Structure 1
Amino acid sequence: MPLVSEEKQEPSPVLPLTRRERREAAHGRVPLPRRATAVRPLTIAGTVALAALIALTGYASPRFVVLAVALGGLVLAWGWPWLLGLPSPRGTTGVLAAGTLLLAAAVLLTPDDPWLRWMPAALAVAVIGAFLHQLLRRDGRPRLTESMAASIAGLAIIAAGTAYSAVPHALDGSHALACAMAGLGVGALADPLIAVHRTRQWALFIAMLAGGLAAMAVAVLGGGPSPALGALLGLLTAAVSHAARRVLAPLPAAAHPRSQLASAAASSLLPGVVVFTVVFLPIFSR
């Protein structure tokens, strides 16, 4: 007797394509999954809150900026493994949290300019810790390359955010940091446009425009930096932050609250190196 039943199974019905899907297929475009275009309220709120915190601490003290960035780094460490679905999530969280504390200590213990001179050494130690974590895993080390790459990416994002702490030391640095955070926060409010098909392709440009105008307004009201530099900072931070959230949105775990907070932290910290570069460029320094 055959081991497998010879009954014929009816094929599952194939749903016809909608006109929009046929049009996208004709142009060679692959339709996005629904989770990639869903609105994430917690991500938007977290991005705005962290941007506001960094801006306010910039007026208080550069050391407070380090603490605000460290808070964002710890949030990223808490949710990053779950957002990416990594094996050994507790170990990865420990590596990222330790890297956050190392980077914060390297900046806090630097008494004079250059303020970030010990940050590469702290980052190198954190990377070594990430390798040691993989060596000490006892689960057979599945998806080793993916886990290692994700840990290094998380440390790089935290290091990029640590660059915010040097900005208040520049001329009009506190105002420049406020301009950048205004652009980042206001740009995040354009995220709901992704859910609307007609405005989806324009969401990035609308976020950049809104962020640039908000940053320019802060520069004018604060008396520095120049409106052009303020607009540039707002435009760039809004663009980088929006792009980071769009890249992370299609991940399967992106809807989880823990993952949404990690996405907010990543999109808020990543523009830090851009802000640092623009503020300290010789063509903008006076």
Structure 2
Amino acid sequence: MNLSTRAVASACAAAAIAGGAYLGAVPLLVVLGALVVLFAAGWAPLLGLPVPGGTFFVVVLPGLGALAAAQVTQSEPWLANLPLVVAMGVLLAFINELLRGDGRERLVESLVGGVSGMVVAVSAAGWISAYKTDDGMSLVVLSAVSLAAASAASAARLHGWLTLVATIVGSVVVAIAVALVMPDLAWLDGLWTGLVAGALIGSLQLLFDKLPELRRPRAALAAIVLPVAVGGILVYVVGRILVG
């Protein structure tokens, strides 16, 4: 799957989050759950890990558990249960390695790969936590639209750092425009959101640009969803600092 196709797919994933947030908490949860499953299905093929079946469960179970934990949390701190989910995920990763019957070749690579994928999947819960903050719906929609704009801009066939610059500029312009039409937000909110989204999408596109595993559709799934999932925790943390 080429860069342009992946960029458009990432834009669609981010747009789905924006649509889910606009419709309500339950649609947002459903969208995020589907994205976590897609990411988990592609993570092991993306890294070429030796036990893709076990790694899938190491990634998907904590990811879905984090979404559920964030959804049922009724008061601040909204991420209070996430450390427990991460701890259980690490334990699950060790159990997965203990149950291997292939001689445990590339043990460290498999363990670290599973844990890193789990952390990315758990990060998606940040979208739900951000949604529960003051002006949360506007914040989530703005951030998701910014990611979609950044992904679309990164599809331009430029070279090297020009792609990163174009991605950031495109994301900032769209984010400021969206913030100006939302009564709960100011243009500065659009500025920081666009900068974070553009930097995230642009840097990951540069990282994955020449990765040969992305020719495989399942591996491409993880690369498509990864920036959107990681964006969840960034939106929550930066949003709490700058928006409140």
Q: State if a TM-score over 0.5 links the two structures.
A: yes
1:142 is the counterpart of 2:105: yes
Deviation per residue, 1:193-249 (Å, 9 max, x gap): 4x54xx432111110111011111111122231111112112201211222232233
1:275 is the counterpart of 2:238: no
CA radius of gyration, larger in: 1
Q: TM-score, normalised by structure 1?
A: 0.80
Secondary structure, counterpart of 1:280 in structure 2: helix
User: Is the alpha carbon distance of 1:60 and 1:115 closer, same or farther for their aligned partners in structure 2, counting shifts above 3 Å?
Assistant: farther
* Counterpart among 54, 57, 68 of residue 20 in structure 2: 57
Q: How many Å separate the matches in 2 of 1:208 and 1:94?
A: 34
Q: How many Å separate the matches in 2 of 1:232 and 1:60?
A: 25
Partner of 2:51: 88
How big is the shift at 1:143? Answer: 0.9
Q: How many Å separate the matches in 2 of 1:280 and 1:94?
A: 31
Higher RCO structure, 1 or 2 (CA under 8 Å, sep 6+): 2
What is the aligned length? Answer: 244
* Counterpart among 126, 135, 141 of residue 178 in structure 1: 141
For 1:280, give the aligned amino acid: R
* Counterpart among 193, 211, 214 of residue 233 in structure 1: 193
Summarize the alignment of residues 106-255 of structure 1 with structure 2, pairs less than 5 Å apart.
106-193=69-156, 195-196=157-158, 199-255=159-215
User: Is the alpha carbon distance of 1:244 and 1:201 closer, same or farther for their aligned partners in structure 2, counting shifts above 3 Å?
Assistant: closer
Q: TM-score, normalised by structure 2?
A: 0.93
5+ residue gaps in structure 1? 1-37
For 2:35, give the aligned amino acid: G
User: Is the alpha carbon distance of 1:172 and 1:236 closer, same or farther for their aligned partners in structure 2, counting shifts above 3 Å?
Assistant: same
Identity %: 25
How big is the shift at 1:179? Answer: 1.5
Q: How many Å separate the matches in 1 of 2:74 and 2:143?
A: 25
Secondary structure, counterpart of 2:83 in structure 1: helix
5+ residue gaps in structure 2? none
